[in-house]
Amino acid sequence: MWKTRVAILLTMAMFLFAAGCGASGDKMPEKPVQPEKIVVQAPVAPPTTPLFKFAADGEIEGMKLELILYKSVEEATTRIAKGEADFTVLPLNVAAKLYNKQVDISLANVSTWGILYLLTTDSQVADWPDLKGKELYVGAQGSSPDVLTRYFISKNGIKEGDIELAFLNSPEIAQLMINGLVENAVLPEPAATQVLMNNNKVRLARDFFADWQLFEGQEARLPQAGMVVRNEFARLHPSAVTEFQKVYRDAVNWTVANPAEAAPLAAAKMDIAAPVFVKSMERTRLFFATGAEAREDVHTYLSRLLDISPDMVGGKLPDEKFFLAD
């Protein structure tokens, strides 16, 4: 008899479970929906140029696109913290810092692989040790020019303080050098080309990308800047992220292949003369790689910065969840 009762109870339990699963109160997981708008913020810099190509269309696959040009990293990070931007172009060490501060972001892609140069009017400066006892102008503290300059100073066995570092933003440094008021400076493209084209006494002394390979190997790449995505946005709209990555990859490839056609966009949006932009692309290494594809290079880059100063990357290397899964 007890076996019969157990069988009846089990049958009733299965019936109730099945009925519960079909009840209107328990919904099946909703299909991901496309967002009405994608908000992207980026600096006035080379990786932003490809964004202008599809931002001009105003949408991607029916999704409206809003592009915000930010003037400082502080402005960008504030917008990220408030959840006001879905994608943001950032120096990689800044992205690592934010992640290590528990900001809910992932590295979606890397697009900038070496655009920094040491420029000089000093005939005695050919290599890093030649800067001992001299003044060197570098972009804002904590920026890519700063952190990589300190890397090369360290790798060349130069003691801190042997080179006097002066910090200004890159446009200011470029203008001072054009006017002959600065002898030694670290500048990114296209500012480096702007200086070279407007002051014939300035020459290019060191290519940061080439110097990076001297210390890290000929296969090493120098990942300077990439794009982070809000994880909440990526969770809610995975197909939108996939589409955005594809369109941005295509735009980067188009910009590299067609600098003369991209130049008017840079001129209109970033106040960069078209001839300067076209010439600067000869020394601008733009290449799209997803965060996952760039993992090894990013890990090496952040590891070296961590060795020099933990503060540069937020005290530790970000874990594997930092890289958005493909």
List, for residues 202-247, the tens digit of each pLDDT value.
999 999 999 999 999 999 999 999 999 999 999 999 999 999 999 9
- The answer to whether residue 295 scores a pLDDT higher than 60 is yes
User: What's CA 131's distance to the chain center, in Å?
Assistant: 29
Sorting pLDDT into bands at 50, 70 and 90, what band is 32? low
Q: What is this structure's pTM?
A: 0.86
Token pair 């530790």: residue: 316
Alpha-carbon dihedral of residues 286, 223, 321, 52, nearest 10 degrees? -30
Q: Where do the CATH 3.40.190.10 domains begin and end in the chain?
A: 37-113+221-322, 116-216
Q: Please give the Cα distance from 223 to 299 (Å, whole number).
A: 10
What torsion do the CA atoms of 100, 103, 108, 110 make, to the nearest 10 degrees?
A: -50
Question: Are the CB atoms for 87 and 228 separated by under 8 Å?
Answer: yes
Query: pLDDT class for 162, splitting at 50, 70, 90?
Result: very high
pLDDT tier, 138 (very low <50, low <70, confident <90, very high otherwise): very high
Residues pairing with 119 in the sheet: 185, 204
Assign a CATH topology to domain 37-113+221-322: D-Maltodextrin-Binding Protein; domain 2 (3.40.190)
> In whole angstroms, what is the distance from residue 55 CA to residue 40 CA?
10
In terms of Cβ atoms closer than 10 Å to its own Cβ (0-12, 13-18, 19+), residue 178 is middle
> Residue 90 pairs with which residues in a beta bridge?
226
Do 211 and 162 form a contact (C-beta atoms < 8 A)? no
Pairing of strands 87-91, 59-60: unpaired
The pLDDT, as a whole number, for residue 160 is: 83
CB 149 within 8 A of CB 120: no
Q: How far is the C-alpha of 54 from the C-alpha of 65, rounded, in Å?
A: 9
Report the percentage of the chain scoring pLDDT > 70. 90
* Closest among 188, 41, 35, 53 to 105, alpha carbons compared: 41
Separation in Å, CA 198 to CA 1, 68, 192: 100, 30, 10
Phi and psi at 34, nearest 5°, equal -75, 140
CATH number, domain 116-216: 3.40.190.10
Three-state SS at 292:
coil
Which residues make Cβ contacts (< 8 Å) with residue 304, sequence separation at least 6? 151, 216
> Omega into 190 within 30° of 0, i.e. cis?
yes
